[in-house]
Amino acid sequence: MSHKKKDRLDTLRVLIGSCPYLYNSPRLADIYGEINRIASSDQVPRHNGWLLAVLHTTRTLDTVLSEIVRCKGWTAHTPNLNGYLVVLRNNGIVFSSEKRGYDLELVHVRNKYMHEAGAMPRLIDANKILNEMHACVMTIFSRL
């Protein structure tokens, strides 16, 4: 794993662990476990490892957002990444333009790799999703 990726994952752990809506969450250990799996996906060769990185990155984000929505007392009509982003948009945490960007860069990309047989990410795709997830988390945390 590159030092840059390790630093990004360490930063995510600190950000998530210091978020007042997450540091007492019963799901915090699960979230950290997913972040650790992002790191360990580098041990799996090429496309399979990159697919695992996409899976664990988006599962991390999915769980982080679900916990924020739960702690705020909001309800997502659909308990998935898109549903949580809709709730955050509807409550003024995410702007509509940001929601569209997250749909394009996170939700649709994740869905392609998770639901389309034979769709395999490249290293650059896995890294881009991690970057987008990091930016999404930082934006949301700054507005809570």
Q: Which residues of the chain have pLDDT under 70?
A: none
Handedness of CA 31, 120, 105, 85 (dihedral sign): negative
Q: In terms of C-beta density within 10 A (0-12 exposed, 13-18 middle, 19 or more buried), how is residue 43 classed? A: exposed
pLDDT at 4: 85
- Nearest alpha carbon to residue 77 among 61, 66, 68: 66
Global pTM?
0.95
What range defines the domain where residue 119 resides?
Answer: 3-143
Number of structural domains in the chain: 1
Q: What is the pLDDT of residues 99-127, one digit of tens each?
A: 999 999 999 999 999 999 999 999 999 99
